[in-house]
Amino acid sequence: MTLLFIGDIVGRPGREIVKRAVRVLARRFGTQLVIANGENAAGGAGLTRENADEIFKAGVHVITGGNHIWDKREVLEFIDREPRLVRPANYPEGTPGRGATTVVAEDGTMVGVINLMGRIFLSTLDDPFVAASREIAALSAAGARVILIDFHAETTSEKIALSWWLDGQVTAVIGTHTHVQTADERVLPGGTACLTDAGMTGPHDGVIGMDRQAVIARFRTGMPTRFEPAAGDLRLHGALITADPLTGRAESIERIAVTSAMLDAWEA
């Protein structure tokens, strides 16, 4: 089976290219399940019910989160009722929402999805290594053999360490948060595919998705500046993972960086 993971969706531009690209990519690559990080889908920070519905309607099966998942307060109104939305599993017990979920892919395979957040240079949460083991055990008991983790973390070392520690236990560990796609995709010896960061889906004519003039002003002056998403050079970043649905072992992982021009050609 083939899974598509989409890197951090930023604002309306990110949502627009997702709406255009997901079904085109499904036809071109034969994807049976689509997972996307959506914590920045609402104007560059947070997620609303309307945003989530728009992303699901585009063909995404599961939305993952991260440190910005609570930036739009209205998420608290629906996160407990939406099994297709997960937030980091290493938030303390009692936090609204869920850290993992199962979904049936289009080929009938049950897939488990876990969201975790790193602790280096981010909020100090519970141990993501312990949370990973807990959620993997629960998903395996529920019958999921294919399990993908979105590890929302700042440092490459923490992401790579978790990937090695979980090698052979999950299908893939895909990093998010930095909005910059890395070039270190590989399948580890135990059958776990990993990529330090999937990149960003949205406008690439700014600074990690935001209008570049505002970001430059912030760096130059140190003064508070309101950030808005940039608008041009739309790209969808992510990864394609092929896996054996019976064993859950990854067979391959491929980075993708899809531009509007590429979509024009594929749709022609």
For the residues of 135-173, what is the DSSP string, one character each? Answer: HHHHHHHTT--EEEEEEE-S-HHHHHHHHHHTBTTBSEE
The pLDDT tens digits of the residues spanning 125-151 come to: 999 999 999 999 999 999 999 999 999
Cα dihedral 92, 98, 102, 106 sign: negative
Catalytic residue, chosen from 68, 177, 179, 237, is 68
CA distance 184 to 110: 28
- Catalogue all structural domains in the chain, each as residue range(s) with its CATH number: 2-267 (3.60.21.10)
List all residues 6 or more positions away from 161 whose beta carbon is below 8 Å from its beta carbon: none
Q: What's the pTM value of the predicted model, to 2 decimals?
A: 0.96
CA distance 146 to 140: 9
The pLDDT tens digits of the residues spanning 178-220 come to: 999 999 999 999 999 999 999 999 999 999 999 999 999 999 9
Active site residue 68: yes
Q: What is the residue-level pLDDT of the chain in tens, covering all 268 positions?
A: 999 999 999 999 999 999 999 999 999 999 999 999 999 999 889 999 999 999 999 999 999 999 999 999 999 999 999 999 999 999 999 999 999 999 999 999 999 999 999 999 998 899 999 999 999 999 999 999 999 999 999 999 999 999 999 999 999 999 999 999 999 999 999 999 999 999 999 999 999 999 999 999 999 999 988 899 999 999 999 999 999 999 999 999 999 999 999 999 998 7
